[in-house]
Structure 1
Amino acid sequence: MKNIKYFVGAVCLALSLNSCSDFLNEEPVSEIPAGDMWQTARDAKAGINEIYGLLRSTLRENYFYWGEFRSDNVAPGAPVMADQARVINNLMSTDEKCAKWTTLYQMINQANLAIKYVPNISMPDVADRNDYLGQAYALRALAYFYAIRVWGDVPLFTEPTEKYSEAIYKERTDKNYILEHVILPDLKKAESLINRNKNYERKRISICGVWAIMADAYMWAKEYNLADQTIDKMATIASKKGGRFVDFEPNIATWHTMFTEELTNKPSDDTPENDEYNSREFIFLVHFNMDEVGTNGYSYMYQWFSGSGNRAAVMSDKFMSIFDEKDMKGDLRKDYTVKNYQNGNELRKYMAGDISNSLNKTCEVAYPIYRYTDMMLLQAEARAHQGKWGEALDLVKTVRDRAGLNTLTENDFASEEEVVNYILRERQVELAGEGRRWFDLLRTEKWKEVMKPINGMEQDGNELFPIHYSHILENPKIVQNTYYGNTNN
């Protein structure tokens, strides 16, 4: 479904193709209307799969650009990796490839098409149709959630672009409006539609995946009670294997193997009722399998973090200093997370041993978008904000027990901020390399105090990425983020 004409309008917006209107005004030799491509259950499945494919394309590199490289977790790696170094050193310009929203808006448009056409498709089981529709709503919410965290205000499209019109040229919509009136309502719709009796996928969005995105969004909205309640719901979903569908993994050795074995070289499986993962930690992940994406679509996980010759980043001295703090000494996660190799502390969380020479061994991995320990620590933070320090620290204790560490008690803290900072440090170590740290600094408004001593980041607006100059050239209604001025380069 990638190459039909109804999709080109959104591509024009996202890619900012020059002379797009001239191209679209020409009559094609053959045209398949969008409605004709959404007729059967097979069409619906293919259409939803396309959204996941676009998410994978979006996050192949941007998982690190958007979620890790601007944080205090990393420092520049090899000098040849200049693109990544500019992001890490706070020297971005408006021509950075990570400043493009191309595939993200393609993803949004494909979700809009599914939301429009799937309800009219006849299927033997209406629950299957609802599940496809629920995934479309959840994926649209996730796409916009990334967009507002990266660029702030962004253009809003809730209807599909099926042919060229002036309507594709939109101004940016306030990020808080999008959060309140699009992201959270979309997730509520997904919650009511996802099939809880059949969808046990972790490579697709299950009901627990919906709740994970929703809880995260509530935390950004500072709706701490709602985030707390949403995370609690996950305990109600049972696995076909017995026990809970998502749960905490208490053993540190198994914690390690869930990254190195559960995520690596995983065979393709498109059967929603089959949960092919042994670990219940994972809620939603983006998987890279050579059979599915080919040798040009693999993960950048190892290429960017391994080997002194071309590694884009190493774990920073500031990150490594955490393990020297009194209550962090002996952290069992350290040796599983980082290895000093060729004069740099490399992220090794996703590697069972040393670097492999086999492309298949080193690049067939998955990016965890959400896992259960992430949710536990978010819930701890939510409870701290509600004055429930003891309950918050109980959750932290569970995580630190696995790491072989003691946990402070309520009496060790003098303020809510101290408790929250304690939890955020735990999130920083536990979720290192999982695309979460920079977003945590943004969400808690701590990016200035943390990053100013490192790369001088302190001016309002600097927390946002620039909008790629090509988007602004094509659409005069788009105004650049203020920190980056009005230049087009």
Structure 2
Amino acid sequence: MVEMKKFFLKIRALFLLPVLGMTVACDDWFTLLPQSEMVAEDFWKDEQDVLSGVGACYRAMNEDGFMRRLIVWGEVRSDNVVPGTGSDTDLGYILNANINAANGYVKWSEVYTVINICNTLIKNAPMVREYDSDFTEEHLKQYLAEAKTIRAFCYFTLVRAFNDVPYVEEPYLDDTRTYEVAQSTCESILDTLITDLKSIEDFAVKEYPDNIDYTKGRVTQKAVWALLADMYLWLNDYENCIAYCDKILASRDNPLTLLPSSNFSNAVFYSGNSDESIWELQFDNNTQNGAVRTFYGGTDVNALLSAYDLSAGSDFFGGLDLRHVQGYVGDGLYAIKKYVAYCSAQDYENPIFGYGDGSNNWIIYRLPDVYLMKAEALAEIGGAANLEEAVDLVSYTYDRAHPDLEEGSLKGKYTNQSEVRNLVFDERQREFLFEGKRYFDLVRRMRREGSPTNIVNTYLMRKYTSMSLDETTVRSKLDDKDAIYLPIHEEELRVNPLLVQNRFYMASEDISKN
């Protein structure tokens, strides 16, 4: 890949970081800075080098380019967001359903950089045991489980955004290796990743009892299981999705608890590493989450995105919903507050917000993901008992967000499969607003339905109509099964002749041009 050819793996050795099970400050692990080249002949000598390599995998996900893609690919094309007060030309094209292969946000090199670091560790870590007699097989397997899970998450992100992408397991170390790799299908990549994750799920660390930052910030067994459940859901393998959700819910290791209504928004999204979190990317004052501030705003920051007001002309939130009143402000600008602002007054009708310093973590999975993945799978399987259980699972998050309603407020209101399917779909939108999941939820449903038409008509057009865009033009750019994915960037097509552009973006010059 283009930028990969200029990329040398560089990290700072973690001299203060001991072996698994012991604790150090979070800064020593998650705020690595590139300094020394991670090359086989002089780097892979002892366990500390392997630990440094694992740390580099996490650190690469903190990079601004990687984080920006999690937000842009997962949110911007959804019905959650509209343009904010800030300006970004490439983002503006995407917001206006006007995407082409020159758009900077369709570059995937930032994600493949993380994959390359993981591949380098996976290839080189096993040989370290030849040099370091104290480096145990158990620790090696734990580190490999982390790297393979991070790699799998990156590929899962790519296939949800682009569908078919190149699948590479060999690391790129220098310019002697030519990276001309054809795309593999989404299904074949996920099948490979699932097999790989199942081979390491029993080796992943269950929890770090004395270090909450590690338990929430590093891959644990429950993070592996959550990713597997998510992949199975994407493949419409509902039984396996449910099985892995049940593993998480049944395990007493790394216990998870849904936080109460009183302060869950601040604890989960502002403070971070809450009791309901499974895996989140760690940021602090030294390594700030600039992408979230850029897109969602902050003090003296003109946010690139605002919320699309889902409550306009509807009862979508079912009355007082804390995810609405604490997620964005209905003041005409609809400024997003989730992640970036602390709700300093618990007046649910008139909350008072204060922006933070940009050190907010980014959540990949938390307990509501498990509830709602299982609920979606049950709804798709159907049957009275499954539908009832699905509604019960939705009730956990719905009731938590509605403190003025009695527990079980949804019971008996949704009985047929279509009603429950839509309930789960809408609840995922309410619960995961601005968390980088909504567009992928839309794509998953479009794939399942075999056509984007229903999703475009029912969900997406309301946003574009609110933006005063021409309806006919927008439909021409959305209502195609290949249009739901991103184009391959033109630079990648130039350097890798084996790549084939997404059909939609090469079918019409009128559509493919900004």
Determine whether 1:138 maps to 2:138.
no
Counterpart in the other structure of 2:202: 192
Q: Which moved more, 1:93-102 or 1:157-166?
A: 157-166
- CA 1:141–1:315 in 2, change beyond 3 Å: closer, same or farther? same
Counterpart in the other structure of 2:17: none
Determine whether 1:52 maps to 2:58.
yes
**Superposition RMSD in Å:** 2.8
* Partner Cα separation in structure 2 for residue 190 and residue 206 of structure 1: 11
Determine whether 1:347 maps to 2:355.
no
TM alignment of 1:283-302, pairs within 5 A: 283-291=278-286, 293=287, 298-302=289-293
* Partner Cα separation in structure 2 for residue 485 and residue 9 of structure 1: 21
Matching residue within 100, 103, 106 for 1:99: 106
Q: CA deviation at 1:282?
A: 0.8
Look up the SS of the partner of 2:4 in the other structure. helix
1:346 maps to a residue whose letter is A
Matching residue within 243, 254, 269 for 1:229: 243
Q: CA deviation at 1:327?
A: 7.0
Counterpart in the other structure of 2:400: 402
* Partner Cα separation in structure 1 for residue 83 and residue 47 of structure 2: 47
TM alignment of 1:351-430, pairs within 5 A: 351-353=341-343, 361-387=356-382, 388-404=386-402, 405=405, 407-410=409-412, 412-414=414-416, 416-430=417-431
Q: Deviations over 1:385-435 (max 9, x none)?
A: 222001111111122211224643456433x23211111101101110111
Q: CA deviation at 1:160?
A: 1.6
Look up the SS of the partner of 2:275 in the other structure. coil
Q: Deviations over 1:219-261 (max 9, x none)?
A: 001111111110111134435xxxx522322x11231121354
Q: Deviations over 1:306-330 (max 9, x none)?
A: 379722111113x2338x4177112
Counterpart in the other structure of 2:49: 43
TM alignment of 1:79-478, pairs within 5 A: 80-122=87-129, 123-165=134-176, 167-181=178-192, 183-196=193-206, 198=208, 201-238=215-252, 245-249=255-259, 251-263=260-272, 277=273, 279-291=274-286, 293=287, 298-306=289-297, 310-317=302-309, 319-321=310-312, 324-325=314-315, 328-341=318-331, 343-350=332-339, 351-353=341-343, 361-387=356-382, 388-404=386-402, 405=405, 407-410=409-412, 412-414=414-416, 416-445=417-446, 447-449=455-457, 450-452=459-461, 454=464, 455-456=474-475, 457-478=478-499
2:240 maps to a residue whose letter is L
* Partner Cα separation in structure 2 for residue 428 and residue 326 of structure 1: 10
Q: Which moved more, 1:348-357 or 1:376-385?
A: 348-357
- CA 1:91–1:197 in 2, change beyond 3 Å: closer, same or farther? closer
* Partner Cα separation in structure 1 for residue 316 and residue 67 of structure 2: 37
- CA 1:31–1:194 in 2, change beyond 3 Å: closer, same or farther? closer
Q: Percent identity among equivalent residues?
A: 26
Give unmatched runs, 5+ long, in structure 2.
9-35, 344-351, 447-451, 465-473
- CA 1:44–1:326 in 2, change beyond 3 Å: closer, same or farther? closer
Q: CA deviation at 1:68?
A: 0.6
* Partner Cα separation in structure 1 for residue 6 and residue 167 of structure 2: 12
Look up the SS of the partner of 2:79 in the other structure. coil
Q: Deviations over 1:335-375 (max 9, x none)?
A: 1111134x311111221146768xxx331111111111121
- CA 1:301–1:225 in 2, change beyond 3 Å: closer, same or farther? same
- CA 1:79–1:39 in 2, change beyond 3 Å: closer, same or farther? closer
* Partner Cα separation in structure 1 for residue 445 and residue 490 of structure 2: 29
Counterpart in the other structure of 1:64: 71
- CA 1:481–1:100 in 2, change beyond 3 Å: closer, same or farther? same
Contact 1:13 1:471 (8 Å CA) reproduced: no
* Partner Cα separation in structure 1 for residue 138 and residue 113 of structure 2: 27
Look up the SS of the partner of 2:217 in the other structure. coil
Contact 2:268 2:277 (8 Å CA) reproduced: no
* Partner Cα separation in structure 1 for residue 107 and residue 2 of structure 2: 17
* Partner Cα separation in structure 1 for residue 368 and residue 115 of structure 2: 28
TM-score by length of 1: 0.82
* Partner Cα separation in structure 1 for residue 48 and residue 420 of structure 2: 50
Contact 1:128 1:195 (8 Å CA) reproduced: no
Q: CA deviation at 1:78?
A: 2.4
- CA 1:452–1:260 in 2, change beyond 3 Å: closer, same or farther? closer
* Partner Cα separation in structure 2 for residue 331 and residue 356 of structure 1: 20
* Partner Cα separation in structure 1 for residue 37 and residue 456 of structure 2: 51
Q: CA deviation at 1:35?
A: 4.7
Q: CA deviation at 1:81?
A: 3.2
Look up the SS of the partner of 1:444 in the other structure. helix
1:44 maps to a residue whose letter is V
Look up the SS of the partner of 1:205 in the other structure. coil
Look up the SS of the partner of 1:340 in the other structure. coil
Contact 2:205 2:219 (8 Å CA) reproduced: no
Give unmatched runs, 5+ long, in structure 1.
1-7, 16-29, 264-276
- CA 1:9–1:465 in 2, change beyond 3 Å: closer, same or farther? closer
* Partner Cα separation in structure 2 for residue 217 and residue 377 of structure 1: 14
* Partner Cα separation in structure 2 for residue 14 and residue 143 of structure 1: 18
Q: Deviations over 1:157-194 (max 9, x none)?
A: 1122234356411111111111112x212211230321
Look up the SS of the partner of 2:82 in the other structure. strand
Contact 1:252 1:333 (8 Å CA) reproduced: no
Contact 1:203 1:285 (8 Å CA) reproduced: yes
- CA 1:409–1:480 in 2, change beyond 3 Å: closer, same or farther? same
Contact 1:71 1:88 (8 Å CA) reproduced: no
* Partner Cα separation in structure 2 for residue 97 and residue 235 of structure 1: 40
* Partner Cα separation in structure 2 for residue 75 and residue 32 of structure 1: 42
* Partner Cα separation in structure 2 for residue 201 and residue 473 of structure 1: 42
Q: Which moved more, 1:216-225 or 1:462-471?
A: 462-471
2:262 maps to a residue whose letter is A
